[in-house]
Structure 1
Amino acid sequence: MTDLRTTALHDRHEALGASFTDFGGWLMPVRYTSDLAEHHAVRTAAGLFDISHMAEFEVTGPESGAFLDYALAGAISPMRSGKAKYSLVLAESGGIVDDVIAYRLADDRFLVIANAGNREAVAAAFTERVTGFDTEVVDSTDAYSLIAVQGPIARAVVEATAGIADVQPALADLGYYAWAAGTFEAAPLFVARTGYTGEDGFELLVRNEAAPALWDALTAAGAPLGLVPAGLAARDTLRLEAGMPLYGHELSLDIVPAQAGLGRVVAADKPDFVGKTALAAVVAPDAPVLVGLVAEGRRAGRAGYAVLNEAGDTVGEITSGALSPTLGHPIAMALVAPASSGLDTALFIDVRGTRIPATVAALPFYQRAR
């Protein structure tokens, strides 16, 4: 793992006794103590995540909105300053290069956050697509750290953190998929009410030099309230319960948005965007679609396991699966043939040669109380 990149918080993770894994070319904490304990902390109190491996692109210039309308699947230019939107970078084929979040910072400024493993692919797509637009795209990933506070007490933790000041709008007034500007120890601080866990929460962006002190301050404010550091293992089970896709599992170049249940993300009425022509074609009637699966017992289907119908024919494949810590039974997302995708359809998961009964269920598996 000597060639893997580390975040500005790596020393903090080592001091906490974290176990590490390769994730998108970065050496990232997979857990600190227990996957289950970290998962439950996020559902009942809050978890503190280092997500600095994510890629940040600054998009500036008078035609920034028009450029993003062309480069992404969604309608970005109508978005008001202070808001954010989930979107997709599509290939000409209509397949998914990455899923991203675009934030409007001002009339002529946006921030786009992409997945670590797709940084180069997104950078290449933006570089190619910006031609002809009065816009500049800068990959600023190496300058920033991103820390997430997720869970029911997330707002209380951030509001109690020493050094955070001048946050406007106030966190109590900040809607979901919106952001606020503030300072941390006089350094610029970007606070977004976004996350990847199915809970309320915030993602805080600061320059690398401020990140260790911010991590420490959040820890000091949150520990008495139940905040714990949480790693990638908990993040994965949390996002699975929330029915959130993971690139390389539910999303890929071989999957078009409608197959993944993301047709709503595509602004098909835009005059032009990369992938528009391909998406206008009729998707093959037997193209697999994403569904949720629930099962009894304790044996969970994992990515790559076959999904069978009652006749024993293979009708799909698990994309993500786990024994749900919150719900207490196995859950999975799977790409299956449309004929087997109806709610309550009885299927089976081939778990190492054993057929485990499963039922098609609606996504998400878990929704927090509002």
Structure 2
Amino acid sequence: MHVYSHHIGDFNTATRHLSRLERSIYRDALEYYYVTECALDASDFERLARRLLCESPEEQAALQFVLDEFFDLDIDGARYVQPRCERELAEYRVAVAASGAVKANVNKRQQVHREQRKAMYEALREAGVHLAWNAPVAEVRAAFAEHCKGVDLSRTSHAPVTAIHSPSPIPQNPVIPPNPPAGGAVTVEATLSAEQPEVGQQGVQVANPAATVAQLLAFFPEKRRTRVMEVGRLVLELVEGGAVTEQVLLAAAAAQSALLHADDGRACPNVLRWLRESRWKDVTAPVTAGVTGGVSSVTGVTGNWMQSRSGVEAMGIQLGLGAWDENKERLFASYDARVMDAYRQKFGVASYAH
């Protein structure tokens, strides 16, 4: 990525408390993030400092402050992640994929036109008609229609330009149907009763991947429908690999629709992340009542509440922490740790029960 949007007002507001040195280092870090198209390597601070030209102790201290102030360590502590950069890169990759698809389609159409033109010239020569090599295509087609009525152009190496092509297995620009009403028409019970693949069971072929992906995207806020190409590939991998069925994916997304759209989708993950983290399983760990009693008598929470995002978030609400706010706590792991700490303090135990 060689070009990115620099919003002067936003940058000045966010960095007003920085020194000139820190502002310069922050700008260099952003540009390095964009040009490499990946988060900053956190495994070796000295190497990162050299890459950002921070050699003196003062520069390295300024770099550390900038990293702590504007970047998040991922769960493994291996990368410094900047949420806005990630959004910009996701949009850039979608645009690149779309432009590549358009260019491929244009090239294919041009190739078909060239082969058709070549086939018409050959048929006209066999009929004794000779046209200039640069004759307009309308003239070539008119001569072909007049002198070569029995020639079938569909026998060329490619189908005619007007042929109907089968849809791509992964949608390039899928038509997204309207969002379902809040809560969706599918219940949690329907999701749980959907056919689940057995352990080790081989999945089935997806009959219409484009339609499946479009239906899945429809349950998410529009701003979370990013990286569609990768979503399509992952859906195929999950379903055909036997990890989940199409019915379970769509039923789970429908059951979670109200939560995904809550607060204008601020706490909703993008579709790709939802798939990677197996969040279709979240509907299996709901909080059905208030938390009461000690650890052994938590009647309102299923035993595996801590194993899913929705379970942890519901427990956080029960404990008075509220729902996860992506803007306040950019990493869900931070919110998860707060919920676990509150749970231990409430019930006076060293660790939560599995």
The two structures share one fold, judged by TM-score above 0.5: no
Structure with bigger RCO (C-alpha 8 Å, 6+ apart): 1
Structure with the larger strand share: 1
Structure with the larger helix share: 2
**TM-score of the pair, normalised by structure 2:** 0.24
Which has the greater radius of gyration? 2
**TM-score of the pair, normalised by structure 1:** 0.23
